[in-house]
Amino acid sequence: MYLYAEHILMVDLTAGTTNAGSFADDLVEEVIGGVALAERLLADYADRDPVVLATGPLTGTLTPGASLGVISRLGEDGVPLHSPLTLFMGSELKYSGFDAVVIVGESPSPVYLWLHDGIAALEDASQLWGLDTWQTSDAIKTAKGDEVIQVLAVGPAGEHGAPAAQLVANYWGTADAHGFGAALGAKNVKAVAMRGLGILDAEEAEDLFEHSLAMGEAVTSAGLPANVIQGLLGGAPDAAACEEWLAPAVHRSKGCFSCPCRCFTYVKYNEPAQEMASTDVAEPGCLLTDAEAVLALFRGGFSPEEAGRLFEGVARRGLHPMTAAARAVAAGTTTAADGLAAVDADPAATIAQEVTPGGPDERTRAGYVLGVCPAFLAASDSPGLEDLLEAVRLGTGMTLDAEGFSDVTAAVTGVLSPRVV
């Protein structure tokens, strides 16, 4: 079916095999994609400790905010747990040739999964085991000779099964609040590396193209939605003071694939923040991906530079930023070195789960099924649900109405977070 990569990959770690199967159109008509597809695949392989990566029909398209992929597993009580994949992780996965990847079993030795051009391979990762996430991403990019490869990396925290071990996106923290670093580490998987040079075709190519650009124009003419990070901070009484505090270290902010927002702020602490050139300082700073964690360190008395250094250390370890920031502040530390020592002294720290009363709203659920970032959908009134469904109809030729779609989103039972930054 158009707009999909049309392949679901089965990775059996125990057997050491990968198997790319064409997906059945009726499966997609039933579950559409994203978290709904992930939940179906989790159910199908429930007895084999599955971890699923999935994209939606709009992931990787020109729909504004179409960056989203998800990674999913079953919690101890059997309830699906979903973490969003943003930046270029969702789009790269789909362009690598797979709508979804099911990873089952456990590898006898460390491996990483390498996806490109519709091909999947389990590569030896024994040399990578023990490396931090920055070293891991660098090593894979170097080994494959392509800097643009997207790496979901497990850090030492995930190797050791720390409950707060999250997956890191190339070098940066993510909104994974379900410990996928530990989940993959337990399977002896060090990383998932992706490069997407494929092509996604659309049923009504020209109409979808015009519709997608019109959706983008509606977003920009309404005024760009607030930077989601600012939006999050905006609710706090000391938000303006926090921004002022951070400003001297800010280099430049950026967003995800096909999104107008700039949710991520890069700070420099190893060279002047305003240095715009690429200098011989290879690692001048860090991308801040968790607004609440930044606010916590501001309140805790960190300098912005020390906060940046702490987040680098946290990302290298593959830990959840807010959990680490809370630990550093609770220990009364105000430097990266002391804060990281406090974090290291508490490897059993768990991620405090945010619970949205009544569950996430319909728009968030729709984004998680279609592959559109829920933070973007929360920040911008357009596109509306009907616009998104029209994009699916034009792209796939499916007859999908709001009612049918709401049956799909209503059937999603897992834990979804509206927060992706």
Partner 1 sequence: MTTHLQIDPLLCNGCGRCEIACGHYRDEGYTVTSSSILLYRAEEKNNYFGLLYKTEDDLVAARPDGVQVRRQGEPVEDSSPGGKPILLRPPCDGCDPAPCARACMAGAIRVAEEA
Tell me which residue of 110, 103, 108, 33 sits closest to 74, measured CA to CA. 103
Q: What is the CA radius of gyration of the chain?
A: 20
Quick note: the x/- pattern for ligand SF4 over 185-224, rule CB under 6 A, is ----------------------------------------
Least distance to partner 1, CB of residue 284, Å: 5
CB 3 within 8 A of CB 392: yes
For the CA atoms of 235, 237, 240, 244, the dihedral, rounded to the nearest 10 degrees, stands at -120
Residue numbers at the binding site for partner 1 (CB under 8 A): 60-62, 64, 88, 91, 95, 134, 138, 144-149, 170-171, 195-202, 205-206, 209, 213, 216-217, 219-220, 224, 251-262, 266, 276-279, 281-285, 287
- CA distance linking residue 289 with residue 311, whole number of Å: 9
- In this structure, what token pair is assigned to residue 314? 């946290």
Shortest Å, Cβ 64 to ligand SF4: 8
Binding footprint of ligand SF4, residue count (CB under 6 A): 14
Beta strands across the sheet bearing 250-254: 250-254, 264-268, 285-288
Q: What are phi and psi of 254, to 5 degrees?
A: -150, 170
Near ligand SF4 by CB under 6 A: residue from 376, 383, 395, 408 = 376
Torsions phi, psi of 189, nearest 5? -100, 120
Element (H, E) at 231: helix 228-234
By CB under 6 A, which span of 280-288, 373-381, 393-401, 402-410 interacts with ligand SF4?
373-381
Residue of the chain from 101, 228, 233, 336 that contacts ligand SF4 (CB under 6 A): 228
Each residue 52-71 as x (binds ligand SF4 by CB under 6 A) or -, in order, gives -------------x-x----
Least distance (Å) from ligand SF4 to the CB of residue 71?
15
- The one among 3, 5, 291, 375 contacting ligand SF4 by CB under 6 A: 375
CB 50 within 8 A of CB 73: yes
Judge whether 287 and 251 are in contact, CB under 8 Å. no
Choose among partner 1, ligand SF4, none what residue 376 binds, the Cβ cut-off being 5 to 8 Å by kind: ligand SF4
Question: Which residues sit at the interface with ligand SF4, rule CB under 6 A?
Answer: 65, 67, 86, 228, 255-256, 259, 261, 263, 373, 375-376, 420-421
